[in-house]
A and B are shown apart, each in its own frame.
Chain A
Amino acid sequence: MNAIEFINVTKEYEIGNNSIKAVDNISFSIEAGEITVILGPSGSGKSTTLNLIGGMDRVSNGTVKVLGSTISDFSDRKLTEYRRKNIGFVFQFYNLIPNLNAYENVDLSRKLGKNPLDAKEMIKAVGLENRMKHFPAEMSGGELQRLSIARALCKNSDILLCDEPTGALDSNTGQMVLEVLQEMAKEYNKTVIIVTHNANIAKCASNVIRIKDGTIQENFINENPLSVSEVIW
């Protein structure tokens, strides 16, 4: 079953008198429960694609279907509801609330989900049980990103969108974070979409979409995705 479907999607931005196509008539689909990597260099349109899946931006043309609903037709309020119930986000720069401690940051997300998971359990699951009362400023980059994953999972949404989740981390920490992400996605059966420019991450994905200049260069199924520890970083 397709969790996400892009049908002839175009996204154009007006900058001054110029029009720039960030995404140009792309179509693809993503199966539920698989890890998909959208790969591409800077400015390729991968983040725009993620924004369109996440309901943070609107298409100029085409249709985006998520979990059977055509979200490209949604109103602003419905899009918010869609993000609230169906999408978990992992940001490149964590975007945790600095004034809330680790537990409160995760618990905040729990309150948004329709069938949320226990916040403490989630924090434990990402290995931060000793950091519950710590504030983001007191944690390392790897810990912050694990906490961010716990926050995204806690909502128990069907889809996890990860924007360069290892982009701000060193390779060891990045690897550790990806391990957690892979493990968690498997355990909780989530559809995970990772946007990255790091080709190594693609080796762990079951579906790889390579984008360049707003168009899909390659979309292939990886029959034998590697576990994160198997990848040479």
Chain B
Amino acid sequence: MAQRSRLHVPHPPARPGDKPDFRYVQISPAGAVPRPEITTPAREMERLAIEMVRVLDEQHTAVGPWHPHLEPEDLQVGLRHMLLNRVFDDRMQRMQRQGKISFYMKSTGEEAVSVAQAMALQPGDMFFPSYRNQGLQIVRGRNLVDLMCQCLSNTRDMCKGRQMPIMYHWGRGNIFSISGNLGTQFPQAVGWAMAAAHKGEDHIAASWIGEGASAEADFHHAMTFAEVYRAPVILNLVNNQWAISTFQGFAGGEHRSFAARALGYGMPGIRVDGNDFLAVHAVTQWAAERARKGGGPTLIELVTYRAAAHSTSDDPARYRPRDEWKSWPLGDPIERLREHLIALGEWSQERHAALEKELEAHVAACWKEAMSYGTLTDGPKLDPATMFDDVYAKIPPHLERQRAQLQAMGEARSSDGSGDREDLQRETRFAAKEG
């Protein structure tokens, strides 16, 4: 022990140029972690928060008590969704590089989180996503054109040009709006679940937060309210190791798993191999059943790796080894499910290649359609006057006036190219006194 206090500044095990080192990731063998009954008290299953639930072993076989025994058709659907997620991400990233959209965030390497979890939940369950959960939209059947139009801020943009790309929402699909503030959705999901319980409904809520944003007070609020009121909610902490440039040690992950935080609140915490489709599906189903039967919330830590940059504005080669992804000990979720299906005799490399081609063509066709509704720079445009809608349920007088002012400027521009003609000066409503 040192003689006096010094700031401990966490360091990731490898920086650019170093050999990737993931020895810090504690991994349990597939099938090794017991599966408790959903009625088990939280304090009797603390191991779940420390060890790692895994189903797929090194031979791509599903083993152990968490094996969800899904039909091969379901696994094929899951594989298709994950692959579509990745193909979609790749396309959108390229479109950002070509200047068609201003920004994008891929979920490469984390596809099993959203896809397996959404598939394990029911359509009436409400999702409060973070910004790397596009798989939730895909599982619920969202037309990709809608997502693309949002990224393009075009005439079919669900957000009417008010949000930067990827801040989707889908009322009919029970997917809440994504907030750029990070973490705010976590306690809101708890509130939604409290209302479901208040009304005696069967639906549950699920929310996602990154391990980085779990340092926000919103995480603590969510955990406290969820456990105090035993809200029917699944709180998912996606530990993808990196919050932009800070590794998970800066969120307090150096000495204890994030799942173990649940224990202090008195709720079950489950640490799961986030790249194991079957394990993710199984723990989600367990937590959902527990919540639906009045057992309250569960914190699930999904251990995964952010294989791509944080966003199109980020260059991870500046802060971590360029090829770190290749050394990630939990592999690639798509490859692992593909190999499992091949081992089951329910898939082949040829079918996989054909599927990939089909999905690429589908995404390309969607993109073509989306572009026909306009882009930030070309084609049909949203009316800027709509920016005054939806600030309030009904437009108040001061916004009516501002809108009229904007419209008058637009008319002036289109008539003579000037926006500040004298007759457009704003009139006051109380004319000058005479004399």
Co-assembled chains A and B: no
- Could you tell me which B residues sit within 8 Å of A by CB distance? none
